[in-house]
Amino acid sequence: MPTTILSLYILLSNVHLSCGTLASTAAGVVFSVIQLWALSVTPARLHEAIHKAQEILYAEISIWYPYQEDLYRIANTFVAHVGQTYLGISIWGFALITKPLILTTISLTITYLTVMLQLKPSEEIEIVESLQNQMIQNQTIQLLS
């Protein structure tokens, strides 16, 4: 995510980019987005499929009726295993990768990028600062002369 944020920041904050910088920055953004998609979508789909298995098993009437003790015990064990909340692919054991986690990560990235762009000094401030610096330089030159 930091690569995505910084690449987008460079791309959006500088109006006067050379073609080479623009191409390398755009390639970095595309690579980061593809990497985020590849690392998050598949585990999220797996997590969703695991939880759908429980619904499918409950919907299968032939497992529950007529009552067969061995089949019923196996089905209950499977349902109990699938019903665990922390079943799926995790981020180093810290959090499960789910669709809400992906959406939260993307929204935080966009929010952080927006804050960085808003806190960027505007061109008017840069022009005023450069004029002040030029005036100070002119005054020091006049004083030294």
- Integer Cα distance of 57 and 78 in angstroms: 9
CB contact at 8 A, 96 and 105:
no
First to last CA, the chain: 54
- Which residues, other chains included, contact 81 with Cβ-Cβ below 8 Å and sequence gap of 6+? 87
Nearest to 36 by CA among 109, 138, 112: 109
Per-residue pLDDT of the chain (145 residues; tens, 9 = 90+): 666 777 777 777 766 767 887 777 778 778 888 887 777 777 777 777 877 888 888 888 888 888 888 888 888 888 888 777 666 676 777 777 777 777 888 888 888 877 877 777 666 666 667 777 777 777 777 777 6
